[in-house]
Amino acid sequence: MLARLTLATALALAGAAHATPADRARVSHDVPTALGPAAGVSKPLRTTTHTVDGAVGDRRDPAWQRFAAALPGLTQGSWDEATRVPSRLWGRGLDVPGASADPAIAAAAARAVLAAHVAVLAPGSRPEDFVLVANHVDAATGQRSIGFAQHHGGLPVVGGQVSFRFKRDRLFVIGSEALPGVAVAWPRAAKRATELAPLARDALAADLGLAPTALAATTTGVPAILPLVGDGAVLGYRVALAVDVDGGKHGAWRVWADPATGGIIVRQSTTPSATGTIVLDVVDRYPARPRQTMPAARMSVTVDGATLETDADGRLTWPAAGAANVTLRATGPDIAMTNVADANRAPTPFTATLAPDGTLTWSPGTDRALDAQISAFAHATLVRRYARRFAPDLAFLDETLPVRVNIDDECNAFSDGTAINFFAESARCENTATLADVVYHEFGHSVHRHAIIPGVGAFDGAFSEGLSDYLAATITGDSGMGRGFFRNDAPLRELNPVGSENVWPRDIGEIHRTGIIFGGAMWDLRTALVEARGADAGVRYADQLFYAAVQRATNIRSTVVELLAADDDDGDLSNGTPNECLIRAAFARHGLRTLAGAIEAPSAITSGAPAARAGLALTGVDHRCDDVITAVTVEWREGGIDAGSVTATAGAADDTYTAELPLPADGATLWYRYRVSFANGTEATFPDNRADPWLQLYRGDLVPLYCTDFETNPFTSGWRVGGDGADTWQWGQPGAQPNVGDPGAAYSGTKVVGTGLSFVDGSYRPDALAWLESPTIDVGAYSDVRLQYRRWLTIEDGFYDHAVIEVNGEPAWANLTSQGSSSHTTHHEDRGWRFHDVALSSRIYDGTVTLRWSLEADRGLEFGGWTLDDVCVVANPRSVCGDGVRSPTEQCDDGAGNGTGADLCRPSCRFAECGDGIVDSGEACDDGDDDDTDGCNVLCEVIEDRDDEVEGGCATGGGRGPGGAVALGLALAALVRRRRR
């Protein structure tokens, strides 16, 4: 769907409570998929599929080890961050003699791999859950694609699929969009389809503020299992019935309804894009430009009462020697035009005389509604013809295309997956049917919907926007898409902006912006192929590769592999492809590459250590091409301040680097990370955790005060759990649940403590608080005490879920909470064991410490949570309270002079202060609490009783009203913060 004006969007949001029904229906198409009340979850569904390249899950997972041993040529991969299922696996491949020519051999080989490795490709499923739905060979490239659709309990799982690609008798790419661990509650009393369709229609009408009579609902009556997938995890599964609702000018939707109630589980807009046109006098891209003449190709014409058709060049043959009286309408066997502005929704007729060997020009003149019909017809015809160049076998291109123009709305256009729809003009925007680029763009969405190979590709909104932008740009030869939309020559979106590029993941946003990443990469590839092959051959081959991605990719990140697979000539991606370097260079310029990195470095060093080195091992670097790494640096900071960087040097092994870290001060911690810079200006950072992108290095001599590796049961030695989800904490071996981000093995030994270690469900409990607490640990007189341990933490953005470390009841660390008006999807995902150093001394008052790891979750999206190993409480032996030497973690240290008398340095090496229970100079009292009713307030002032005060007297002038209460509350809060908490 085309982007609306920013102003219009802002107004729509601000006035949502007062939106008209038309507004509510229109806005429903801006969010292609939305949860309904019957879903039973509060988290939104994901709008972008994120995949991570490199290791697929945990290399120590037994299922993955079996896969890697059996198929070593298919171990390069990427995995879906939400489902933890491998999105793509590829490499040198597996020999399957006869697979390219014989569909039965290919299908049998694919079925055998699926059966043997279903635990990797579709965790929680059985081989028999998958039904063969496609066995497709591409005549141009020789690539054979096998697609299996996922089922569970006899019902199809929406979107669930596993696919296999063969070329030159080699299985060389596997794709999986399977849904893991499918489990549903079956409805006890399902209604008949004839009852559900009107119930779902009425529910949608109420939701959008439309009259039920304005909607028409149909259903196949076949239920399916609908996955609810959030940004970082599967939110759940529901049995649902698909009901298709046609709202005419308001658009179209697919409603997934609860079989028992008809309530809406998910509402999907089937209206994202559009196109249309007629020949003769039509716009050249947009109305402000000089007009052009185009043939009225395959137009229906009435000649003396008989309906005839023009040919592809606009020529008409009629059974008469003389001139013909003809009536033209912008419709035909290829284009079914609907003029919504007409009471009968009929195309506007035009009557004239056509002489033998003469030329009749149909011009709309100043009739803008007619111009919309003619221009949409002509440009829809052009884009259909253009698409046949790269998709000659696509059946959709032989079907009649519905085109609807002059819809009573503004500044948009959409495709419902087949029909393309255009809005009328307004003071702000042109009639979108008179914008050729918009017609091409919307037709691109329809091509995408029909071209996807079942069980192989999948629809993704951002990808569809990007590919539709590219289709418009490749037809016009202009990277500026949508010129004229706002009545000027500025493009609506620019695929090749001067001096910058849209880069993954930096420029991920709403789907149109995200789509520019793919559209821009594809435009750059087209440019490179034109330079290499010439204009016509280069464009044709770029479009051919583009269409391969349209058919098979499931999101923007998966397009790189699909382009390489389409370009490949021997069924082996490990030895490169003919145009690999052009493909990789174009896509790397937009941050789309297959690169992963692992860091090997010490976590703690002694005071006398001469140096500390950190090593980086990269995988997925292509040495055949020019994606040149120009610099590998280690950025570091100490004390929370960005302090500098050091340059890493190449190691002895390929794609390895090492750098000497600057040594932090004795007793301090250094934060550092690797940054890899490329010649094209893009970068990659490691570790790959947006919520916690820095590793730690502690320097200093330490003495252990308490350590456990959890090899014995901690709950028999003083550890305890609590909260309403206390049983979430478990001791044992990790559950190896990659779908929630859990590890497959302990950091050391075999045992850990963590949330959700179950091999069945590794996620933490929703809408619950659960904590793990250590025994009380005696730290003696040490005044620089630290927690050092290993963690593997995966948790939703702190805006929703909270992972906290408390020290003696005070928070010392928490996961990141994203700020502002973002979508709050900066989830904490360690993806490996991380060393974590936490200073404790500021929260120790009596020589003891109790540690608590807590996890508080809301409803809707859950990850794996905490996994802990090798927990130690340690101390700096040179920082001892009472030795008369003040260390950096002490406020004071008077040695033997420390005490509990007035104004003395306290035994904890802290200054005397109000709230410590000792009356010091300047204090009238100090009872050590926050109770202002016991005669001593929080400022250590004596409060005298005032029995003679008139009750309610403070309410005069609103003192007890809402404003007074808030002001008082703020004042007290300010005072309380002065106390030591």
- 44-61 pLDDT, tens digit each: 898 888 888 875 556 668
Q: What is the 8-class DSSP label of residue 334?
A: S
* pLDDT over threshold 70, residue 949: no
CATH of the domain at 510: 1.10.390
CB atoms within 10 A of CB 963: 10
Please compute the mean of the pLDDT values over residues 938-963 and round it to a whole number. Answer: 51
Alpha-carbon separation of residue 12 from 47, 464, 835 (angstroms)? 20, 24, 47
Question: Looking at beta carbons, which pairs linking 601-604 to residues 24 or more positions away fall under 8 Å?
Answer: 601/661, 601/695, 601/697, 602/697, 603/696, 603/697, 603/698, 603/788, 603/835, 603/837, 604/697, 604/698, 604/699, 604/700, 604/702, 604/788, 604/835, 604/837
- Domain with 378, as residue range(s), is 281-293+334-347+367-588
Q: Is 901 exposed, middle or buried (0-12, 13-18, 19+ CB in 10 A)?
A: exposed
**Does residue 595 fall inside a structural domain?**
no
* pLDDT over threshold 60, residue 223: yes
pLDDT score for 961: 33
**Does residue 52 fall inside a structural domain?**
no
- 109-146 pLDDT, tens digit each: 999 999 999 999 999 999 999 999 999 999 999 999 99
**Does residue 149 fall inside a structural domain?**
yes
**Does residue 819 fall inside a structural domain?**
yes
391 lies in the same domain as 451: yes
> Which of these, 61, 51, 54, lies nearest to 85 by C-alpha position?
51
471 lies in the same domain as 487: yes
* pLDDT over threshold 50, residue 4: no
State the residue for tokens 């002065």: 978
Phi, psi dihedral angles at 116 (to 5 degrees): -75, -30
pLDDT score for 932: 83
Q: Which H/E stretch holds residue 141?
A: none
* pLDDT over threshold 50, residue 191: yes
Q: Are strands 324-328 and 300-303 parallel, antiparallel or unpaired?
A: antiparallel
Contacts of 242 (CB under 8 A, 6+ apart): 219, 220, 222, 224, 254, 255, 256, 257
385 lies in the same domain as 462: yes
Q: Is 784 helix (H, G, I), strand (E, B) or coil?
A: coil
CB atoms within 10 A of CB 589: 22
Please compute the mean of the pLDDT values over residues 809-833 and round it to a whole number. Answer: 83
Q: How many Å apart are CA 464 and CA 449, to the nearest integer?
A: 9
CB atoms within 10 A of CB 806: 18
* pLDDT over threshold 70, residue 16: no
Give the domain-ending residue among 825, 845, 875.
875
DSSP per-residue codes, 856-867: EE-SS----B-E
Widest CA span in the chain: 124
The C-alpha angle 44, 45, 50, rounded to 5 degrees, equals 120
- 755-774 pLDDT, tens digit each: 988 655 667 888 999 999 99
776 lies in the same domain as 815: yes
Q: How many Å apart are CA 961 and CA 736, to the nearest integer?
A: 56
Of the pLDDT bands very low, low, confident and very high (cuts 50, 70, 90), residue 739 is: low
pLDDT score for 321: 64
Q: Is 404 helix (H, G, I), strand (E, B) or coil?
A: strand
> Which of these, 603, 606, 629, lies nearest to 618 by C-alpha position?
629
Q: How many Å apart are CA 292 and CA 711, to the nearest integer?
A: 80
CATH of the domain at 147: 3.30.310
pLDDT averaged over every residue in the chain = 88
Residue bearing the bigger pLDDT, 169 or 963: 169
pLDDT score for 760: 53
Please state at what angle helix 436-451 crosses helix 461-476, rounded to 10 degrees. 130
Question: Which token pair is 753?
Answer: 């403590």
State the residue for tokens 């330490």: 702
Q: Is 313 helix (H, G, I), strand (E, B) or coil?
A: coil
Q: Which H/E stretch holds residue 486?
A: none
167 lies in the same domain as 204: no
Q: Is 258 exposed, middle or buried (0-12, 13-18, 19+ CB in 10 A)?
A: buried
Q: How many Å apart are CA 844 and CA 858, to the nearest integer?
A: 31
* pLDDT over threshold 70, residue 966: no
CATH of the domain at 638: 2.60.40
739 lies in the same domain as 804: yes
* pLDDT over threshold 50, residue 947: no
- Residue-level length of the chain: 981
Of the pLDDT bands very low, low, confident and very high (cuts 50, 70, 90), residue 13 is: very low
Please compute the mean of the pLDDT values over residues 937-943 and round it to a whole number. Answer: 90
Sign of CA dihedral 921, 926, 930, 935: negative
Asked whether 925 and 941 are in contact (CB, 8 A), the reply is yes
- 595-634 pLDDT, tens digit each: 888 899 999 999 999 999 999 999 888 888 877 889 999 9
757 lies in the same domain as 813: yes
pLDDT score for 492: 95
> Which of these, 584, 592, 588, 609, lies nearest to 660 by C-alpha position?
609
pLDDT score for 353: 83
Q: How many Å apart are CA 462 and CA 514, to the nearest integer?
A: 6
The C-alpha angle 318, 319, 325, rounded to 5 degrees, equals 55
Please compute the mean of the pLDDT values over residues 772-778 and round it to a whole number. Answer: 98
* pLDDT over threshold 50, residue 17: no
> Which of these, 267, 408, 33, 430, lies nearest to 421 by C-alpha position?
408
pLDDT score for 276: 28
DSSP per-residue codes, 242-311: EEEEE-GGG-EEEEEE-TTT--EEEEEE-------B-SSEE-BSBTTSPPEE---TT-EEEETTEEEE--
* pLDDT over threshold 90, residue 552: yes
Q: Which H/E stretch holds residue 768?
A: strand 768-773
Question: Which token pair is 378?
Answer: 């002509």
Alpha-carbon separation of residue 890 from 445, 473, 495, 815, 882 (angstroms)? 65, 66, 58, 27, 10
629 lies in the same domain as 556: no
* pLDDT over threshold 70, residue 19: no
Alpha-carbon separation of residue 709 from 821, 854, 871, 873 (angstroms)? 41, 19, 6, 12
**Does residue 47 fall inside a structural domain?**
no
Q: How many Å apart are CA 200 and CA 257, to the nearest integer?
A: 6
18 lies in the same domain as 70: no
Give the domain-ending residue among 699, 721, 741.
699
Percentage of the chain with pLDDT > 70? Answer: 90
**Does residue 307 fall inside a structural domain?**
no
* pLDDT over threshold 70, residue 839: yes
C-alpha atoms less than 13 angstroms from C-alpha of 412 in its C-beta half-sphere:
24
CATH of the domain at 730: 2.60.120.200
> Which of these, 703, 699, 701, lies nearest to 612 by C-alpha position?
699
- 470-523 pLDDT, tens digit each: 999 999 999 999 999 999 999 999 999 998 899 887 787 678 888 999 999 999
Number of domains in the chain: 6
165 lies in the same domain as 249: no
Sign of CA dihedral 504, 510, 511, 516: negative
Q: Are strands 264-269 and 867-875 parallel, antiparallel or unpaired?
A: unpaired
Alpha-carbon separation of residue 661 from 535, 633, 665 (angstroms)? 51, 10, 12
> Which of these, 563, 434, 492, 486, lies nearest to 165 by C-alpha position?
563
- 293-337 pLDDT, tens digit each: 999 999 999 887 788 888 898 988 877 667 888 899 999 999 999
The C-alpha angle 139, 131, 36, rounded to 5 degrees, equals 105
Q: Is the peptide bond before 505 cis (omega within 30 degrees of 0)?
A: yes
pLDDT score for 974: 33
Give the domain-ending residue among 120, 141, 176.
176
Sign of CA dihedral 462, 464, 515, 278: negative
Please compute the mean of the pLDDT values over residues 856-877 and round it to a whole number. Answer: 92
Question: Which token pair is 601?
Answer: 């470095």
- 257-275 pLDDT, tens digit each: 999 899 999 999 887 543 3
Question: Which token pair is 287?
Answer: 């109305």
115 lies in the same domain as 249: no
686 lies in the same domain as 713: no
pLDDT score for 515: 93
pLDDT score for 56: 52
Q: Is 955 exposed, middle or buried (0-12, 13-18, 19+ CB in 10 A)?
A: exposed
pLDDT score for 101: 96
Query: Which stretches of 294-445 are assigned E, i.e. beta strand?
Result: 300-303, 306-309, 324-328, 335-339, 350-354, 401-407, 413-415, 420-423
> Which of these, 752, 744, 808, 753, lies nearest to 776 by C-alpha position?
808
**Does residue 885 fall inside a structural domain?**
no
**Does residue 305 fall inside a structural domain?**
no
Q: How many Å apart are CA 934 and CA 505, to the nearest integer?
A: 57
